Chains A and B, each alone.
Chain A
Amino acid sequence: MAEINPSMSLSNPHPANFNATQKTGLALVSLGVLATLFAWVNIGTVQPAIYLAVALIGYFGGGVIYSIGSYGSVPEGIKNNRAFFTSMSSRGAIAWMAGIIITLFYLFLYFKDYADKIVGGNSLGGLITMFDPISNLLRGKASDQWFVYGSFYTIAVLIMGFKFILKYRHSKYQILRTCSVMFFQLIFAWMLPGIMNNLYNYEPYWTYFFPLDYDALFPSNLSYLNSIGTLGQFTIFWGLILTFIATPVLTYFYGKRWYCSWVCGCGGLAETAGDPFRHLSDKSLKSWKIERWLIHSVLAAIIIITILLLVDVSTQGALLNDKTAGILAKGYGLIIGSIFSGVIGVGFYPLMGSRVWCRFGCPMAAYLGLIQRFKSRFRITTNGAQCISCGNCSTYCEMGIDVRWYAQRNQNIVRSSCVGCGICSAVCPRGVLKLENGPDNSKRTDIQMRTNDLVLYDDVNILSK
């Protein structure tokens, strides 16, 4: 008895029995990875286009075959067996390696100049040339590091989105939501910017706006956009509409999910590539406290910086000297934009879960969350007294919300961080949770089911401090 680890977390005595289809899929994916690495280091004289073709066939073909092998032949339903036994999804050795590799890749991307100096040349070399054929076709010019990044990002969302859809194919909500993030990533975050670049030499990202697009309202950006003509002016106009009109209105009706789990690219990656890691988010009360301080500080920081810069410009630089202004703008970009949202946000997926950035750092999430918390019709409702406190909802909440805390006391869940992914409702074995848009929840305590005499509604002292 003593040698048994009751948490059964890190090692599984019986490795998951991979079937032949899954193995075939994994073999193809490995081939894709190898082709990518060969291209990166420029092995031999093979045309980059060949490497690209092999890589794409490997990723897409392998991904599709692996997904079908995993979920295709079993009845539809919740598929979380062995999530805490599998090394990759339970912070095992493979997860640590994956975390380090993704983090390093991000460091190469964001700090390419330094990497170039260290290796004494183009550190991403062949990886960039490899994407030239697509870049030429789409953008009418050679590839660069950000096109490589965007392409990998899109590939990940598409393949893992396909896997997610198969996994949750019994849920129309999950299918539609995933199609939506795949669509916005492919069209609005990858194809459209490329085509516009070809036509107008400017890449608009119309699904990103202030405060997530942190420099959207920086004076330098505004004057640049204004200078490039109608397209730039439209981008300014579009961004303002979305930030100040569409966001409050849509969030009032549907909660922050309209953006975070249906449109946003960060959310899109978290919901697809990040799905195998969603249960790794920290659910403790302590982490909730950290979350509230951190995320609202980031929102405050970007608002203050933006206002300072705008006031500074409108007073002809009376407020700040050029150096301070530069430090403010670049400092936020480096610490929040690059390190927090990119390196930590994605690199740490296998260790801290898929929504680290969205939960602790994203100023857009903070802004949406404030509306959701205080003035929105969105909430998760609980079904009478049917909760058995099993904990699936809390465990699989990527935002670290202790959903069970509310469900077992028969209380609606109105939390600023909820992105409305709907997984709590999906994994609930007793049909207790439902995402709903209903009457205004601003007077939250009134709609908590105090009047429902089915179970004890308790006020045991927990969050009062």
Chain B
Amino acid sequence: MSDMRALPVGDRALLVELGSGEEAEALHAELLRRRAEGTLPAVQEIVPAARTVLLDGLDDPARFAKWLAGWEIPPLASGARSAIEIPVRYDGPDLAAVAELWGVRPDEVGRIHSSTVFRVAFCGFAPGFGYLTGLAERYAVPRRATPRTAVPAGAVALAGAYTGVYPRSSPGGWQLIGSTRAVLWDHARVPAALLTPGARVRFVPEEL
């Protein structure tokens, strides 16, 4: 990838910046593939994010950066993994506001959202909170001007072009369009997170 940049992060880590979220996801997938194959040097954490992948706990980040520059990174394979289905009711308090931003009727928000195949680009904010990409850029919405002090667990929410599901009750500024009874995070389960980076996701409307 021509516009890949490896940025130094202290003396034990490397932040690899890419031209797009898709390229970051492709690099993340390739890193996981090489790790599974046993050809990746020891690294403590591989953390994908919006445009970057962080490699933390490397013995020699500079050497890794040089090696990485010569990689051929295959584009993301689509449809290789089956999608995780999340049951949802489109009953969020911000449904009308989102419909207005999208220029559609409130009942169309759920139709558009549930006909989209999402991918977990990365996790953050809270354990098990995935940033899901898939909605077209024209459906991007701003965060709420005033964040809520308590968003309930299972709230299905939008911010920018991302969709997220709150794993537990917490403060939050995303626009709430629905709710799910799916358990996003259970530390007694393996894996604890329902949504892990790279997973494909579909929202399936439930009867009200």
Genuine A/B complex: no
